[in-house]
Structure 1
């Protein structure tokens, strides 16, 4: 993994207030890996995610990202799916605007409108684009948020409980979308309390229990 790392977290401590949720924690993620991170609720999974995407500063330790030549680099493009219960569903915004927000800062070659339509079509929510998110079911909103995470084709996808609120058919659709992005070269972190579900997709599983 040494020559193919995407990120390396070393001896990191992170937490809230006076409490460390993770202490002296280290993690390497290989470029192109599909890594499952499992554990009980409150075990530190979401705290780790926030540290990796820069929402929560490290108290100690270091977080280093690497380019394709194995040299320390700036943070790669990241697509993030937060837990659904953290979303304000009363906020007055349409589905298309939510997905489009994932294209902020996008500098690739494809037209943003094409990328948006593709992500919506892949997750079978193209018909929902003009609707406000307050009209959506939990499963529909989960697919909208995943579309926002994948729309810019980021190098790193961090998906926190991606199967929440999904029925069987929607779960299969989401699984297919994740698999497709992985085949296209994305590095993916699947965060879940459900080890069995993650185990069906991940190349490697680590536990924060």
Structure 2
């Protein structure tokens, strides 16, 4: 048998095997890349959702602080709903947020915990609010006006005694809002 012909057949076969091997290697790398990219997309969604919710809570707190706190819904949010909303988000923020975002979240939670809410005044305001709503439903508007006055007085006393430092609280919320936005932007890169 001719050595040249044999060498040509063997080298052609080796070239084909190398091409098949290279193709298989490329396919494997592409599948690995696609799987990694899909994982990163799912991870980004998991990381970003709590930050978006945190931004929403911060915006609501900012809106509440800009009011005169003479509405039962704003006082209720500040005294009863904001802290649980932040606590619900805290584990995911602690896991996925930046160090600055975690620190700012703890600061806002601490400031909310420091509010000295007189539960008796809060109960009185909520009771007056409920009685006002019932009087309105029954079309007893004079009684509703009396209950509204009682509600406003209780809310004024409550906000006067709770020790709310609006500027300090707003500064902490602004810092948390900015760090949450920064965390979302950095996790998207």
| Alignment TM class, shorter chain as reference | under 0.3
Tell which structure's C-alpha radius of gyration is larger: 2
TM-score (normalizing by structure 2): 0.27
Structure with the higher fraction of residues in strand conformation: 1
